[in-house]
Structures are given as structure tokens and as C-alpha cells.
Structure 1
């Protein structure tokens, strides 16, 4: 009840972010229900239904990441003055944030269940997708307990990840569950190694393109995917995510190289300090952009393969979630620097200096992450188009 009351009394922008989490949960829930509908309509094709279900892991992970990012920027999840005396310590605030995240996700998955049942015609009236019965399994009974169990995975995963991310920290040097230091992240070598290993696995196991351009089917046309290619893509994406904090730190080092002025030094130090906070969401964004570029390039050479509606839904959910997560991380970083920004303003720093420093950080990140993302995408595409 407390989580519901806090949600009702939140700022409109906070409510908008929670509604975005609910919308992402609805899209992921619809994909999970589509996999269940295919299994209900094709009881003998268990392998195909399992493959459809496994493809839902990417939207589920993206939705979970977005839910965690939104929870971290929620003012209600921060320990304020007087909360401990009222019985809301760090542990209870963490549980409250997890409950609020679960509530938003439950609203989304229930909406997806209603839409799914309406499209199948289970709520009365004609089925909307009767022209394509394989899409949602229309005309076949849907096991409601199984549907509810599948849908429960979304709020449970989001709530568990939120609780893990916002858990109370007792180590010295932590504020708002993030280390505020300028120590270099240690994941860059591991990220580079995993990316290289993923590209090597993909090159070794990629199938030869047939006469009709048949390569790596996506969700909706996903049956027959080469496991080695999928494993290679997953390793390369994981490598980019692990290397993200180190790449952000490297961007800050490049800004501070040579004899930097006050503006370059300020921008570089901010990137180095915020590399732990910004690195993972930006790494996920680079991984998704790399995979999208590779998929567009590969399927541009295979016009005989069409992209199904489930592919469009899954891609939209993933892109929207990772982009919003990166923006939420930037907002969290800005909130964490609020005292420093206020101190600079009191010292007489004009607003234009701070704006130019922000633009300089964006340019540095683009120059470092952009070419790397394009290179990984090109190398991942080469074995599939030649």
C-alpha cells in the first residue's frame, strides 16, 4: 500500500518513467504469451516453441535493465533526512523500490494478457489474427496457469534486480550504491577478450549462405538459427557491456591528455568518476546498436526473408529500453553531481561553461564508442555475407 501511495503522489516525470516501464513489460509479456500460444497450437513442435521462448530473453533483460535504471533515479528510493526515524531505513527503502518496480511491471503484463486474449478472440468476439493462426495460436486453448507463470517472470526479475542493485552498502566510499572514486574500471581487458572470442566463434560456426540468402532467422522467422552464431553474438555483446566502464574511463583520459584547460579537465574528470555509473548502460546500447547494424546488413542481402510482427515488437522493446536506460543513467549521474554543480555556480562559473563541458563529454563518448561499435558490427557481419 505504501508503494502504491508513493506512486500516486510522485512527480509527473517519475510517473512517466514508471509508465514506460509498464509499457516495456507489456511488450515483453506479449512476446512471452506469443511463445506460449505457439506451443499450444503446435504441441509436436516443442523445439520451435522453445526457440521462440529463448528469443524472449533479450527483451526480458532489456526490460529488467530499464526497471533498475528507473528505480535508481526515483527520489523515493533515496534515503532522506528523517526517514530512519520513521522506520524507513536503507533496507526498507530497497524493498519499497522493489515493490514499486514489481507493481509497474504487473500492470504492464496484465495489459499484455488482456490484449493477447482479445487478439485471439478468447474474450468474446472474433479473433483479430485468424488470418495467421500460427502467430498467436488462435483457435487453440491457452493454459491460463502457464500464462500467469510466464508473465510472473517479468515482475519477479525486475524486482529482484532492483533489490540487488539498491541493496544497502556498508563498504566505505559508497554513496547511493555507487563508488565515487576515480579508480580505473578493471573490466576493459575482459571485455575486449570476450568480444574477440565471440567474433571468432561466430566466424568459425557461421553457416554458408544458400541460394535464397537464408541466414540467421530472427524471432517470427527464427527457426533454424545456428547455435554457434548466436553464441558468438552473445559473447561479443557481453564483451561490449563489460568493456563499457573502461571505455568511458578511457574517454575521460583522452580529454585530460596533454595540457588540458579547465573545461577539458572538468569534462574528463567527470567521465572518469562516472564511468562506473555510465559504462554498463552505454555498453548495452553499443551492443544493441552493433547487433542491429549487423542484422540490417545481413537481411538487406536476403530480400526473400521478411521480418515478422513479433520481431518488430521485440526490436522496439529492446531499442526503447536500452536508450531509456542510458538516458536514465545520465540523469542519475547529473543528480549525483548536483552539489558539485551548485558549488561551481556559487564560485561564479557561467552556465555556458557547464553546457560546453556536457557537450564535450558527449563528443568524446561518441568518438570512442561510435567507431568501436561500427567495427564490431562490421566484423560480426563479414562471416554471414561472404
Structure 2
């Protein structure tokens, strides 16, 4: 009940983020139900149905990432002064955040069920079309237990992930605080004035580069001897045989980009602050270095999804007779929207975390134009570093499959 009251009185931007989570949950639930409908309509092709269900793990992971990002930036999940005396300590706030996430995802799953049944013609009224009959298994009953299980996957996993990420932790003084509270918010200029361990290059950068190179090498090796019929990566509606190593190589490359995201963001900040920088370049570089661990991982996920989408589109462009189907297009659009929204949410979280720093700079006489130029310079540096790298990895991933 308290979670519902906090939702009703939330800021419109917070409500928008929760609406995005519910929409993503609805799209993912629809894809899961489509896989179940295909299995009910084609019991003889259990392998194809299982592959369709496995592909749904990608939008499920993207939806969970978006839900966790929205929960981290929710003001209701941050410990406030006086809330512990009212019984809302870090543990209770974590439970409220997990409950709000579960409710948002459950509403999206319920809406997905209604749309799915309506398109199948199970709710009466308009009859299902031939395309809906093929894609959604119209005319074949769905198992109630399987339907309920698939619809609860996203709410339960999203709530569990939110509880794990926002679980109370102990700081250096032994006091417990939630993960939604920004670290270092009360020390405005300390992070940029000292060369702290937060500015050290993340140790996962070499591992990320290694995994990306290993994934590309594995894909090249496996695709070299593959027959022409196996040249296309199987998407949910194009279940043609493909070497398993291709999918494994793409998975390794994606994991490598995700791990290398914080290190690449840190490298962008160091390049900005290299040499003899001016005030704008120094401020942009130092802020980007401090925010690398906060925004680097979502940016790595965004780069991985963008490279995979570009490579898949280029591969299927070489075979115009086999275009993307509607479910594959829905899944790709859903994943892209989720990872983009997660990156923007992480940027908003980083902006909130440096509120005290920005206020201190304003008190010292820094004009707003300087802060705006520093923000634009950070965005430009990230585009110059991550953009060409993402394009190069996408080209290398698609190249073995085009020959």
C-alpha cells in the first residue's frame, strides 16, 4: 500500500520511467507468449520452439536492466533524513523499490496477455488473421500453468534484481545505506580535486578487450568452414541451422563490450584531460573519469546491442528474400529501446549524484555556459571513442557471415 501511495505522488518523470518499464515488460511478455503459442501449435517442432524461447532471454535481460536503472533513480528508494525514525530504513526502502518494480512489470505482463489473446481471437469479436494464426498459434489452447509461469518471469526477476542492486551496504564507518544514495554527494570537490582510486583504470578493461577479440576470432573460425545454407544467424522467425560457434562468438563479443564499457569511458575522460587542458576540458575529463563506473556499464551494453543489430541487419541485407519478421523486429526494437533508456537513466543518475559538485562550482563563480560546454564535450568524447569502436566490431562480426 505504501508503494502505491508513493507511486501516486511521484514526479511525472518518475512515472514516465515506470511507464517505460511497464511497456518493456509488456513487449517481453508478448514475445514469451508468442513462443508458447508456437510451441502449442507445432508440437512436432519442439526444438524450434525452444530456440524461440531462448531468444526471448535477450529482451528479458534488457527489460530487467531498464527496471533496475529506473529503480536506482527513483527518489523513493533513497534514504532521506528522518525516514529511519518513521520505520523506513534502508531495508524497508529496498523492499518498497522491489515491490514497485514488480507491480510495474506485472501490469505490463497483464496488458501483454490481453493483447495476445485479442490477436489470437480468444476474447471474441474479431477473428484472428492468418498471420496471427501462424505466429501466435491461434486456435490451439495454451497451457494455463505455462502461461502463468512465463508471465511471472519478468516481474519476479526484475524485483529480485532490484532488491540485490539496492540492498543496504555498510560504508567505511559501519553505517548502512542504500545503493540508491549517491556516494560522495556530500563531498562536492573532493572527487575531482584528488586522484582517488575511483579514477584508476577499471581492471575489467583488459578482460573486456580479450573477450571481444576471442569472440570475433571464434566466429571467424567457425564460419570459415560453414556451408552456405548455414551462413545466416537464426533469428526467432528464421530458424535455419547455424553453427553454434557463431552465437557463442557474438555472446563473447557482447560480454567483452559490456565489461570494457567503464574502462572505455574512463579512457575517454583521460584523453579529454590529457596534456595542458583548459578549464572546460579539465572539468569534462575529470567528471567523465569519476562517472565511468556509473555510466560505463550501460554504455557498454548499448554499444554491444548497437553492434549486434548493425551486424545482423547487414547479414540479412545480403539475403533480401529472407527479411526480418514482425516478432524479430519487435524484439530488436524492444532491446534497443530498453538499453537506450537505461543509458539515459544512468546519465540522469550521474547528474543527480554530482548535484552538490555543480552547486559548489556555481558558488565559486562558474558560469552555466561553462558547465554546458563541459557536458557537450563529454558527449562528444564518448561518441568519438565508442562510435568507431562499435562500428568496427560490428563490421568484423558481420564479415565472416557474408562469405
TM-score normalised per structure 1: 0.96
Take 2:304 and 2:264, find their aligned partners in 1: how far apart are those partners? 13
Seen in structure 2, the aligned counterparts of structure 1 residues 60 and 67 have a Cα distance that, compared at 3 Å, is same
Aligned to 2:108: 108
Task: Give unpaired runs (5+ residues) of structure 2.
Answer: 185-197
What is the Cα deviation at residue 27 of structure 1? 0.2
What is the Cα deviation at residue 134 of structure 1? 2.3
Aligned to 1:203: 220
- Describe the SS at the equivalent of 2:86: coil
What is the Cα deviation at residue 214 of structure 1? 5.2
Q: Which of 199, 217, 239 is matched with 2:234 structurally?
A: 217
- Describe the SS at the equivalent of 2:199: coil
> What is the CA deviation profile of residues 36-61 of structure 1, one whole-angstrom value per residue up to 9, with x for unaligned ones?
00110111111000000000000000
Instruction: Determine if the alignment matches structure 1 residue 290 to structure 2 residue 285.
Output: no
- Bigger drift between 294-303 and 180-189 goes to 180-189
- Alignment check: 8 A CA contact 2:183 2:353 kept: no
- Alignment check: 8 A CA contact 1:213 1:302 kept: no
What is the Cα deviation at residue 127 of structure 1? 3.0
> What CA RMSD, in Å, does the superposition of the two structures yield over aligned residues?
1.7
> What is the CA deviation profile of residues 147-204 of structure 1, one whole-angstrom value per residue up to 9, with x for unaligned ones?
1101111011111111111111114398746665323211100000110111111111
- Describe the SS at the equivalent of 1:37: helix
What is the Cα deviation at residue 213 of structure 1? 9.1
TM-score normalised per structure 2: 0.92
Take 1:222 and 1:211, find their aligned partners in 2: how far apart are those partners? 15
Instruction: Determine if the alignment matches structure 1 residue 161 to structure 2 residue 143.
Output: no
> What is the CA deviation profile of residues 310-354 of structure 1, one whole-angstrom value per residue up to 9, with x for unaligned ones?
011101110100000000000000000000001111111110000
Take 1:131 and 1:299, find their aligned partners in 2: how far apart are those partners? 21
Instruction: Determine if the alignment matches structure 1 residue 344 to structure 2 residue 335.
Output: no
- Bigger drift between 336-345 and 126-135 goes to 126-135
Aligned to 2:94: 94
Aligned to 2:192: none
- Alignment check: 8 A CA contact 2:269 2:286 kept: yes
Task: Give unpaired runs (5+ residues) of structure 1.
Answer: none
Take 1:3 and 1:74, find their aligned partners in 2: how far apart are those partners? 12
Q: Which of 220, 236, 241 is matched with 2:253 structurally?
A: 236
Aligned to 2:84: 84
Take 1:23 and 1:208, find their aligned partners in 2: how far apart are those partners? 42
Take 1:67 and 1:132, find their aligned partners in 2: how far apart are those partners? 30
What is the Cα deviation at residue 210 of structure 1? 6.3
Residues 9-48 of structure 1 aligned to structure 2 (within 5 Å): 9-48=9-48
Instruction: Determine if the alignment matches structure 1 residue 124 to structure 2 residue 124.
Output: yes
- Alignment check: 8 A CA contact 2:230 2:243 kept: no
Instruction: Determine if the alignment matches structure 1 residue 151 to structure 2 residue 168.
Output: no
- Bigger drift between 160-169 and 31-40 goes to 160-169
Q: Which of 255, 262, 271 is matched with 1:254 structurally?
A: 271
- Describe the SS at the equivalent of 1:302: coil
Seen in structure 2, the aligned counterparts of structure 1 residues 370 and 147 have a Cα distance that, compared at 3 Å, is same
What is the Cα deviation at residue 223 of structure 1? 4.0
What is the Cα deviation at residue 131 of structure 1? 4.1
- Bigger drift between 94-103 and 117-126 goes to 117-126
> What is the CA deviation profile of residues 104-129 of structure 1, one whole-angstrom value per residue up to 9, with x for unaligned ones?
00000000001101111111134333
